[in-house]
Chains A and B, each alone.
Chain A
Amino acid sequence: MEYKLTTPLTEEVTRKLRAGDTVLLSGVIYTARDAAHKRLCECLDRGEELPIDVKDAAIYYAGPTPARPGQAIGACGPTTSYRMDAYAPRLLHLGLKAMIGKGKRSDQVVDAMKETGAVYLAAIGGAGALMASRVKTAQLVCYEDLGSEAIRRLEVEEMPLTVVIDSLGNNLYQTGPQEYRAAMEQR
């Protein structure tokens, strides 16, 4: 199935998505990767309010290259997601509905996704120049000292994504290669 979705993403919408579906995502998303996730969780440890509202939000694991004059953003493909696994369940339990990245996730993250109805979406890793054309605006939100790792608010238009892990725990990284191998064995 192919879906056109706009943020915020409600649980009702994300629970419908299945591994292998494609999504064209529009609306506001937030970039956050390693160092920003660490700070977000430290913020929660101190009992403070997060600098972004994660309820029904989508976080993009990405650290773009600097924008040239006249451009909204530089190259902005996804980074490998497992490094955020230590932090993701806390954000999911606060209502985060979509994580966008690439690569495997831990069982703890998948369990939290099942409980909260969230999805894990893959952007094409290494296709940073192409993804830039889907970003209409980019604004710094916080943690400017982190440079590329700062949290940015992006307005995106039809960002092409693939559902890799759905809220039932189905995983395209397992089923995709399995289906290919099964088809090759039948040849």
Chain B
Amino acid sequence: MREISAQAITETVARLCIEANSRLSPDMENAVRSAFEREQWPIAKTTLKTLCDNLDAARETGLPICQDTGMACVFCEIGQEVHIDGDFEAAIHAGVAKGYTEGFLRKSVVKDPIRRGNTGDNTPAVIHTRLVPGDKLKITVAPKGFGSENMSRLGMLKPSDGEQGVKDFVLETVKLAGPNPCPPIVVGVGVGGTFEKAAMLAKQALLRPVGSHHPDPYYADMEQELLEKINQLGIGPQGFGGETTALGVQIETYPTHIAGMPVAVNINCHVTRHKEAVL
């Protein structure tokens, strides 16, 4: 048994909240900057230039890249040989409160979905935990902005809808979203499992490095085809028109029931953020 203190978890989560919001991962930053280099349509190029300048401004000023510093989604992989000294979930919430307060991040969480009321410290986090072999604890903080979260969709497709049905659903979702989710976007797709599993897969797909491919060539090809089709829609950066509507399409799958084919599309913006640490 390896002991990890609740305090160490709190400190780590706090640090990850701040770092995730002030600096993109190298793959994401590279995706934005290369899109600017590639883009030919004038208004789209100007807009992408602004996004690059914004990344520079965040670096120079220490300000968050985007004011929507998100609801904190925290993914944990807990080694089965780990013992946590203290309340695990409370330690994560405390880390979010500390990170969002000390890091001057926005408090964007309300305590009741209908009656509202800001909680004042961006808690609670949305926590997803998996038990894995080993004696380590991996924590990933992925702050999720809601401009793009609101444009996400889930469809309970029929097996007969097949490959085309999945592609049509993804394209329709991006079309319906249009300028709202701050394109260029990153598209996470979950296919299979159950109602909630598909949504979870779509969210996990967004944790992959942008531009990475599914290990199964069948899905890797589908990712590439969808990316090309999305970029032919012409929505462009911010919806002003242009080639760069999406920076990546990432699909995750799971076996499913004989009667179903759940498809979830989780949209993320050009400020797709996540930061990991291993304790």
> Which of A129-187 touch B at CB < 8 Å?
129-130, 132-133, 145-149, 160, 162, 172-173, 175-181, 183-184
B270 CB to closest chain A CB (Å) equals 6
- Chain A residues closer than 8 Å to B150, beta-carbon distance: 80
Given contacts A63-B108, A75-B64, A127-B54, contact A184 B180 (CB under 8 A): no
Inter-chain contact B69/A65, CB cutoff 8 Å: yes
Kindly state whether residue A51 has any CB partner on chain B within 8 Å: no
Compute how far the CA of A177 lies from the CA of B238 in the bound complex, rounded to whole angstroms. Answer: 11
Inter-chain contact A173/B57, CB cutoff 8 Å: no
A157 CB to closest chain B CB (Å) equals 15
B234: which of A64, A65, A68, A178 is its contact (CB, 8 Å)? A178
A172 and chain B: residue at smallest CB distance: B240
Inter-chain contact A68/B240, CB cutoff 8 Å: no
Inter-chain contact A133/B180, CB cutoff 8 Å: no
Kindly state whether residue A124 has any CB partner on chain B within 8 Å: yes
- Chain B residues closer than 8 Å to A76, beta-carbon distance: 67
Inter-chain contact A74/B65, CB cutoff 8 Å: no
Inter-chain contact B179/A104, CB cutoff 8 Å: yes
Interface of B is mostly: loop
Report how many A-B pairs have Cβ atoms within 8 Å. Answer: 159
> Which of B71-124 touch A at CB < 8 Å?
104-108, 116, 118, 120
- Chain A residues closer than 8 Å to B233, beta-carbon distance: 177, 181
Compute how far the CA of A20 lies from the CA of B243 in the bound complex, rounded to whole angstroms. Answer: 17
A123 and chain B: residue at smallest CB distance: B238
Of B2-10, B43-51, B212-220, B246-254, the one with at least 4 CB within 8 A of chain A: B43-51
- Chain A residues closer than 8 Å to B44, beta-carbon distance: 180
Compute how far the CA of A103 lies from the CA of B148 in the bound complex, rounded to whole angstroms. Answer: 11
Compute how far the CA of A162 lies from the CA of B47 in the bound complex, rounded to whole angstroms. Answer: 10
Compute how far the CA of A102 lies from the CA of B64 in the bound complex, rounded to whole angstroms. Answer: 19
- Chain A residues closer than 8 Å to B43, beta-carbon distance: 176
Compute how far the CA of A90 lies from the CA of B62 in the bound complex, rounded to whole angstroms. Answer: 39
Compute how far the CA of A57 lies from the CA of B181 in the bound complex, rounded to whole angstroms. Answer: 26
- Chain B residues closer than 8 Å to A180, beta-carbon distance: 41, 44, 234, 236, 241-243
Given contacts A63-B106, A102-B179, contact A176 B57 (CB under 8 A): no
Interface residues of B (CB under 8 A from A): 41, 43-44, 47, 50-51, 53-55, 57-58, 61-69, 104-108, 116, 118, 120, 147, 150, 178-182, 232-236, 238-243, 269-271
> Can you pick out 6 interface pairs between chain A and chain B where the beta carbons lie within 8 Å of each other?
A128-B65, A128-B68, A129-B61, A130-B54, A148-B67, A177-B236
